[in-house]
Amino acid sequence: MRSPEFWRHDRVLARLLAPLGWCYAAATARRVARPGWRAPVPVLCIGNPGAGGSGKTTVALDLGARLAARGRRVAFLTRGHGGRQRGPLHVDPARHTAAEVGDEALLLAALAPAYLGADRAATARLAIAEGAQVLVLDDGLQNPTLEKTLSLLVIDGAVGFGNARVHPAGPLREPIAAAAARCGAAILIGADATGALAHLPPILPVLRAHLVSDPPPPGALIAIAGIGRPEKFRETLEAAGGDVRRLHDFPDHHAYTEAELRPILAAAGDATVVTTPKDMIRVPPALRAAIVAVGVRLAWDDPPDILLERLA
């Protein structure tokens, strides 16, 4: 689903819904206060206070790769948004589809073993039984079932925290201060265009990074994106020199059909149709040869190694 426009602005409808947001925040506070299972291995949680994409999976992949490079057997834990499986389940890219486990689970599993489950403690036990030495949670800041060694608050600098109100008045699952209090650091991706950092406690360390696109194909591009903020794909392509003529945006985790993609391909003419690796997982297999996946990576302005040292 797409987030409503009023979540970006603190206007009349958001204020009218604010009392419901207070109730939602109180329920979240009661839930996260429950004690979780303490795993015998370090647990790194990549999260944020809001719903929707902020770059959590990109950060999880980056830090997971860095931990693996240090010789640690990494396992990713995910809830499997967009999939129907509940878990706990060891994700197998050769057997599972995005409809079963979600696109993010398959992206993570391409780098290191990934485990899916709503109950993070049960999922963690499965991963540890199969040899995991460090667990990386893609999302899960509001899930209390597993105690975290270190939690990181990820912020998309372009959108920040929206109107900074709690659902349904805004995009947040809990107040910013409550989420930040459980985190050891924040990661700001891109410039702070909305003043999001002003909402954080002054003592919370902030590491800065930005997205860098892989080299886009030459010539005109038609972009397809069904991610948390589709405009981000256009921005990273253009920053890398891509000539994006049009962006077809879809809801996050959208399950593409041949019927909706074939007209886009037919109308592209000499332009190259590009999408994200996450979207490509959801493209029907018969059409994947006609579309080019262009990935992104994090470029760190502040070295993240200090974060990983806490997981020794």
- Look up the CATH number of the domain holding residue 100: 3.40.50
Q: Do residue 189 and residue 234 come from a single domain? A: no
Q: Do residue 9 and residue 77 come from a single domain? A: yes
Share above pLDDT 70 across residues of the chain, in percent, rounded to a whole number: 98
Q: Do residue 164 and residue 25 come from a single domain? A: yes
Q: Do residue 198 and residue 65 come from a single domain? A: yes
Beta bridge partners of 92: none
Q: Do residue 176 and residue 249 come from a single domain? A: no
Share above pLDDT 90 across residues of the chain, in percent, rounded to a whole number: 88
Q: How many domains does one find in the chain?
A: 2
Which carries the bigger pLDDT value, residue 306 or residue 186?
Answer: 186
Q: Do residue 79 and residue 183 come from a single domain? A: yes
Q: What is the pLDDT of residue 148?
A: 97
Q: Do residue 132 and residue 274 come from a single domain? A: no
- The pLDDT-based confidence of 1 (bands split at 50, 70, 90) is low
Q: Do residue 163 and residue 307 come from a single domain? A: yes
Q: Do residue 39 and residue 151 come from a single domain? A: yes
Residue 274 confidence (pLDDT) above 70: yes
Residue 51 confidence (pLDDT) above 90: no
Contact 142, 28 (CB under 8 A): yes
- The pLDDT-based confidence of 290 (bands split at 50, 70, 90) is very high
Taking residues 274-283, report their average pLDDT.
Answer: 96
Contact 248, 222 (CB under 8 A): yes
223 lies in which domain range? 215-294
Residue-wise pLDDT tens digits, 22-46: 999 999 999 999 999 999 999 999 9
Please, what is the average pLDDT of the chain? 95
**pTM for this model (two decimals):** 0.94
Tokens matching residue 176 = 């910013």
Q: Do residue 126 and residue 99 come from a single domain? A: yes
| Closest to 293 in 3D by CA, of 311, 312, 306, 280 | 280
Question: Tokens 């080299």 belong to which residue?
Answer: 215
Q: Do residue 176 and residue 307 come from a single domain? A: yes
Element (H, E) at 230: none
For residues 112 and 134, give the distance between their C-alpha atoms in angstroms, rounded to a whole number. 11
Residue-wise pLDDT tens digits, 57-108: 999 999 999 999 999 999 999 998 888 999 899 999 999 999 999 999 999 9
Residue 219 confidence (pLDDT) above 90: yes
| Closest to 153 in 3D by CA, of 212, 211, 200, 203 | 200
Residue-wise pLDDT tens digits, 232-273: 999 999 999 999 999 999 998 899 999 999 999 999 999 999
Handedness of CA 5, 21, 191, 183 (dihedral sign): negative
Q: Do residue 142 and residue 244 come from a single domain? A: no
Tokens matching residue 81 = 């948004």
CA separation, residue 288 to residues 209, 228, 280 (Å): 31, 21, 7
